[in-house]
A and B are shown apart, each in its own frame.
Chain A
């Protein structure tokens, strides 16, 4: 079974803090993704990576950055957290791109920025 783990289930941070969200997958997947999920807005893609040290912007990259130093790990960074970044953050990975790109998700990190 594919396992995608996220470092924290719940996180509370203050405005202006630097926040790191870590994601690890154990299936040697090439592709990794970060989403945020807000009520009524569904899943919105923040950043994705198709290879180590590569990253591409998704639909809402502003206020975020990412790091992919190792194949199995994809980190999401909030340089200076703001209250509008309070959300559920979901990490996913996939083996393939395009046809049959099935993404497997972690359990999510619920972030509250005060």
Chain B
């Protein structure tokens, strides 16, 4: 989920289990969403995106689900691996030509 204050939400998952990272958005006009992964000491990397005319999109080991009714986005990672340990951000385009708006991130910690 989204962080509040100075503490980043953390999700701890056993290696091999599935992970679900959530993101809430508030703008009903948002029409495009992206998930990014940021490893320690690196810039965010694109993982997967989804347009608002879809409710599900699959990549390699990742699935993004979009529920426009409750303005909720989730990232599912199958068979989580130690290399998946990172901070994950959602980003939304709120329509028009305004820049992406980023969530505060969730830290995923994989327990070997």
Closest to B91 in A: A103
Residue B68 at the chain A interface, CB threshold 8 Å? no
Once the chains bind, are A90 and B99 in contact (CB under 8 Å)?
Answer: no
Contact B6 A102 (CB under 8 A): no
Contact A98 B46, beta carbon cutoff 8 Å = no
Give chain B's interface residue range (CB within 8 Å of chain A). Answer: 20 to 34
Does B1 sit at the interface, judged by CB under 8 A? Answer: no
Nearest B residue to A43, CB-CB: B102
Within 8 A of A (CB), among B1-46: 3, 5-8, 31-32, 34, 36, 41-46
Inter-chain contact A106/B3, CB cutoff 8 Å: no
A12 within 8 A of B: no
Residues of B within 8 A of A107 (CB): 41-43
A99/B99 in contact, CB under 8 A: no
Report whether B99 and A40 are in contact in the complex, using a CB–CB cutoff of 8 Å. Answer: no
Partner of B89, one of A42, A58, A98: A42
- CB-based contact A40/B5 at 8 Å: yes
| C-alpha gap A50/B41 in the complex (Å) | 27
Q: Is the CB of A98 within 8 A of B44?
A: no
Asked if A99 and B104 make an inter-chain contact with CB atoms under 8 angstroms apart, the answer reads no
Q: A90 contacts B34, CB within 8 Å?
A: no
Which range holds the interface residue count of chain A?
20 to 34
> Complex Cα distance A43/B34, Å?
14
Q: Is the CB of B3 within 8 A of A40?
A: yes
A102 touches which one: B5, B34, B96 (CB < 8 A)?
B34
Interface residues of A in 28-64 (CB under 8 A from B): 33, 39-43, 45, 48, 50, 58
- A interface residues with partner B (beta carbon < 8 Å): 4, 33, 39-43, 45, 48, 50, 58, 90, 92, 97-108
Binding site for A on B (CB under 8 A): 3, 5-8, 31-32, 34, 36, 41-46, 49, 51, 89, 91, 93, 95-97, 99-100, 102-105
Given contacts A98-B93, A101-B99, A107-B43, 19 further A-B contacts (CB under 8 A): A4-B43, A33-B99, A39-B8, A40-B7, A40-B104, A42-B89, A42-B104, A43-B44, A43-B102, A98-B32, A98-B96, A101-B100, A102-B34, A102-B46, A103-B46, A103-B91, A103-B100, A104-B46, A108-B41
